[in-house]
């Protein structure tokens, strides 16, 4: 068994450069200074990029790393045991498939793909290769805050979920960001806006923590506050099929930025502010039991005025502050990926999970296009056709 995973990074853009820097200590892109992580299970042995200037820079800074202009050559070289993709969302699935076919482990940048049809193909290939590791870079699943929430919910501490509600508008992106590259915020280049590029973390966390909704209604605003073809503002309403509902609000034009997550269960409530402060309210009995026990009308009035002892006697409130751990989460995902390859440590973000966030994002788009509620098991070929329509419309507009 290998002792170190020989990793190839596909794409040397902002994210690929960050992973390379974290693993080698060598900074190749401008931005926040990079520190080498303590991650001896992984050695970067190769990178690929289509940009000659990037390749030359890496060759001069990291002469021991193999550099390719084509990721297929890298996969075929025998120099890598595993790859991580940091490329256009559309390419994630096909690169994953090509790697798995060559018995190379795969860590896909989020989202796992743009449309479920594509991601399903990848998952089917992965099923035929159970000995290989296939994971998605859902780094927020390594955030101790969300791991704590997952534990609380899975333990049944807040009971059965009745409501989810996340307003996450801290994804501020000025027009200059969109103008950085022609592929940004286009149907052809990215397949969507905030849903595909910024909010996949929250979309994944919502389904990881609270499960998949059964139905989705959504309103997306396309090019609302930015000169882009795709959505910069989303309000989605979830129906979990058992009476529970949810709301997700996100956008890229709120310079102030809100981030408040609420999860209501029949035994308590979790409120998270700014992805830092968690307030957990636990009921000593389920709300249904408390409700059944209130028979005295005086008690009803006291409850209505907030002066009942029931509230004080049956409710415990705990507040936990978490640090901001951006950066460390990425290292932890890489560690978990390597540990699964080396000794079968369970994956925190298995590749098969990747399709759920894509399905949810697709359902949000589809609902907004058709202006009606969409079953989460929508026809994936229909979605694919609709997406192609958007791409064609976008091209026609560019010609005009």
30 or 128: CB nearest a copy of itself: 30
Binding mask 273-302 for a copy of itself (x = CB under 8 A): --------x-x---xx-xxx-xxxxxxxx-
Distance of closest approach, residue 8 Cβ to a copy of itself, in angstroms? 26
Distance of closest approach, residue 399 Cβ to a copy of itself, in angstroms? 26
**Which range binds a copy of itself by CB under 8 A, 37-45, 85-93, 182-190, 252-260?**
252-260
Among 155, 312, 371, 396, binds a copy of itself (CB under 8 A): 371
Using an 8 Å Cβ cutoff, are 125 and 104 in contact? no
Give the footprint of a copy of itself on residues 47-86 (CB under 8 A).
none
Among 1, 53, 304, 399, binds a copy of itself (CB under 8 A): 304
310 or 391: CB nearest a copy of itself: 310
32 or 59: CB nearest a copy of itself: 32
Q: Is 109 near a copy of itself (CB under 8 A)?
A: no
Q: Is 157 near a copy of itself (CB under 8 A)?
A: no
Q: Is 176 near a copy of itself (CB under 8 A)?
A: yes
Among 70, 103, 309, 311, binds a copy of itself (CB under 8 A): 311
Beta pairing partners, 269 = 264, 281
- What is the rounded distance in angstroms from the CA atom of residue 349 to the CA atom of residue 42? 18
- What is the rounded distance in angstroms from the CA atom of residue 331 to the CA atom of residue 348? 13
Q: Is 143 near a copy of itself (CB under 8 A)?
A: no
Give every CB contact of residue 67 below 8 A, 6+ residues apart in sequence: 46, 47, 48, 49, 55, 58, 59
- What is the rounded distance in angstroms from the CA atom of residue 146 to the CA atom of residue 314? 26
Dig out the tokens for 182 from the structure. 């022609």
Give every CB contact of residue 59 below 8 A, 6+ residues apart in sequence: 65, 67
Using an 8 Å Cβ cutoff, are 216 and 191 in contact? no
- What is the rounded distance in angstroms from the CA atom of residue 337 to the CA atom of residue 93? 18
Give the Å distances, CA to CA, from 161 to 69, 153, 239, 256, 277.
49, 9, 12, 30, 20
Closest by CA position to 355, among listed 117, 177, 164? 117
99 or 272: CB nearest a copy of itself: 272
Q: Is 28 near a copy of itself (CB under 8 A)?
A: no
Q: Is 256 near a copy of itself (CB under 8 A)?
A: yes
Q: Is 174 near a copy of itself (CB under 8 A)?
A: yes
**Which range binds a copy of itself by CB under 8 A, 84-92, 93-101, 121-129, 242-250?**
242-250
Using an 8 Å Cβ cutoff, are 82 and 6 in contact? yes
Dig out the tokens for 74 from the structure. 């890298």
Among 163, 184, 214, 386, binds a copy of itself (CB under 8 A): 163
H-helix segments, 10-143: 14-24, 52-61, 71-76, 89-101, 116-127
Give every CB contact of residue 280 below 8 A, 6+ residues apart in sequence: 152, 157, 158, 268, 269, 270, 317, 318, 319, 320
Give the footprint of a copy of itself on residues 208-237 (CB under 8 A).
217, 219, 221, 224-226, 233, 235, 237
- What is the rounded distance in angstroms from the CA atom of residue 18 to the CA atom of residue 22? 6
46 or 234: CB nearest a copy of itself: 234
Phi and psi at 317, nearest 5°, equal -120, 130
Q: Is 19 near a copy of itself (CB under 8 A)?
A: no
Distance of closest approach, residue 123 Cβ to a copy of itself, in angstroms? 31
Distance of closest approach, residue 21 Cβ to a copy of itself, in angstroms? 14
- Site for a copy of itself, rule CB under 8 A: 30-32, 162-163, 165, 167, 169, 172-177, 180, 217, 219, 221, 224-226, 233, 235, 237, 239, 243, 245, 247, 249, 251, 253-256, 258, 260, 262, 264, 268-269, 271, 281, 283, 287-288, 290-292, 294-301, 303-305, 310-311, 315, 371-373
């Amino acid at each position: 068994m290998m002792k170190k995973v020989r990793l190839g990074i596909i794409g040397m853009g902002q994210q690929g450069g960050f992973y390379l820097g974290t693993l080698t200590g060598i900074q190749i892109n401008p931005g926040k200074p990079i520190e080498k992580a303590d991650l001896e299970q992984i050695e970067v042995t190769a990178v690929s990029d289509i940009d000659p200037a990037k390749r030359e820079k890496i060759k001069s800074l990291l002469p021991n790393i193999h550099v390719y202009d084509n990721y297929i050559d890298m996969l075929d070289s025998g120099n890598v045991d595993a790859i991580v993709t940091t490329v256009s969302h559309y390419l994630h699935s096909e690169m994953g498939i090509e790697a798995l076919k060559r018995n190379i482990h795969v860590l896909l940048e989020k989202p796992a793909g743009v449309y479920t049809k594509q991601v399903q193909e990848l998952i089917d290939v992965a099923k035929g290769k159970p000995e290989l590791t296939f994971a998605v870079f859902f780094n927020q699943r390594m955030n101790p805050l969300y791991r704590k929430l997952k534990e609380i919910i899975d333990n049944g501490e807040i009971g059965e979920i009745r409501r989810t509600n996340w307003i996450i508008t801290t994804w501020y992106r000025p027009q200059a960001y969109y103008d950085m590259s022609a592929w940004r915020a286009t149907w052809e280049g990215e397949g969507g806006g905030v849903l595909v590029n910024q909010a996949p973390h929250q979309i994944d966390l919502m389904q990881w923590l609270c499960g998949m909704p059964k139905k989705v209604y959504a309103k997306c605003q396309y090019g609302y506050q930015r000169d882009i073809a795709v959505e910069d503002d989303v309000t989605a309403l979830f129906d979990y099929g058992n009476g529970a509902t949810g709301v997700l609000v996100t956008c890229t034009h709120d310079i102030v930025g809100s981030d408040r997550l609420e999860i209501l269960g029949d035994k308590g409530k979790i409120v998270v502010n700014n992805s830092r402060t968690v307030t957990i309210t636990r009921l000593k009995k389920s709300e249904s039991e408390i409700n059944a026990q209130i028979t005295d009308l005086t008690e009803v009035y006291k409850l209505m005025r907030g002066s009942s002892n029931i509230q004080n006697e049956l409710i415990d409130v705990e507040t936990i502050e978490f640090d901001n751990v951006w950066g460390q989460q990425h290292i932890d995902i890489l560690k978990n990926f390597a540990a699964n390859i080396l000794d079968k440590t369970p994956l925190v973000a298995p590749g098969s999970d990747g399709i759920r966030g894509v399905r949810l994002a697709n359902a949000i788009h589809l609902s907004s296009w058709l202006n009606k509620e969409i079953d989460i098991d929508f026809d994936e070929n229909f979605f694919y056709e609709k997406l192609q329509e958007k791409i064609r419309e976008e091209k026609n507009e560019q010609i005009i």
